[in-house]
Amino acid sequence: MSAETETPQATGSCCTPAGTCNDGASDVQAGAVTAVYQVKGMTCGHCEGAISEEVSGIEGVTSVKAVASTGLVTVTSRAPLAEDAVRAAVDEAGYELVGTAA
C-alpha cells in the first residue's frame, strides 16, 4: 500500500505561488495610520524588498508596500511616523526619500 504525499500549501503567506505579493490592503487595522512616500531610485523587485525590509524595522510599522514602477512606498503603522525615521531607513536601503506623496 502506498501513501500519497500531499504538498502542503502555504497559508497566511504574503506571496502567491506566482510570486506576487499581497499588499495587506485587506488586513484592516483599527487605529492604524497609513502614509505614502515618494522614493527615488527603485527599479525592480529587489529594490522594493530592500526598502520594505528597512522600513519594516521602524518601531510601530505593521506593513510596507513598495512599488518600483511608481516609486511609491505605502507604510501602515500604529501611530504617525517621524519622516526622519522613514528617511533614515530608505537611505539605509540605498535610496532617496523625496517626501510624502501628494
Predicted local distance difference test score (pLDDT) of residue 68 = 97
Other Cβ atoms within 10 Å of 37 Cβ, number:
23
Given a cut of 60, whether residue 59 has pLDDT beyond it is yes
Query: Which residues are CB-neighbours of 38 under 8 A, at least 6 positions away?
Result: 71, 72, 73, 97, 98, 99, 100, 101
Given a cut of 90, whether residue 24 has pLDDT beyond it is no
Pick from 86, 77, 94: nearest CA to 29: 77
Predicted confidence (pLDDT) per residue in 30-57, tens digit: 689 999 999 999 999 999 999 999 999 9
Query: Which domains, ranges and CATH numbers included, belong to the chain?
Result: 33-100 (3.30.70.100)
Task: Select the more confidently predicted residue: 7 or 37.
Answer: 37
Average pLDDT over residues 67-89: 97
Average pLDDT, the chain: 81
Q: What are phi and psi for residue 3, nearest 5 degrees?
A: -95, 130
